[in-house]
A = this chain, B = another copy of it.
């Protein structure tokens, strides 16, 4: 091949992006070099700046530029509730509901034995310390309803309950606007088992 080495290095480096294989990496590299050199320069800068500036919040473990993130420092949040999510994206999703005003703990992952991620790799001792600070009254587990997310939720609830912390799990069921005809049987079975009495 006659591909220059700096171009080959860029194509190879682009493959660190999730979902980008050799073909897309090639297309991205040529697109940037042909049509958007300014954008490529900004991207390289932004990436280096983010790598230097961002670290984990000492309280909630999300990515932040400060020692403790602004949400954890806010006095408008209810510090007695602690919601555990897998990723900062999940935390943003929860925030967009405007249904929750407590604090968060971001696991930055999930228990996934197949990927070699056990409870130790997630540093759950930090969550335990956070939940045992004397202010938190309820830990709400909002990990995904995948196999790994459910296993993580189960492990966390056992760990927290054994320390006397009150633990809950967000509800499973038929999605709002969902039609029974198009909901999978597993979800429907759970929705049936976890049915709730009508409020009077």
Binding site for B on A (CB under 8 A): 1-7, 9-10, 12-14, 16-19, 24, 26-34, 36-37, 39-51, 53-54, 63-65, 69-71, 87-89, 92, 95, 108-109
Q: Is the interface of A mostly helix, strand, loop or mixed?
A: helix
The 8 closest A-B pairs by CB, nearest first: A16-B39, A13-B46, A6-B53, A44-B47, A13-B43, A10-B50, A4-B65, A10-B46
Q: With A17-B28, A18-B28 in contact, do A6 and B46 touch (Cβ < 8 Å)?
A: yes
Q: A4-B63, A16-B43, A44-B45 given. 5 additional CB < 8 A pairs?
A: A7-B54, A10-B50, A16-B42, A17-B28, A18-B27
Which residues on the B side are within 8 Å of A33 (C-beta)?
50-51, 54, 63
- B39 and A69 contacting across the interface, CB-CB below 8 Å: no
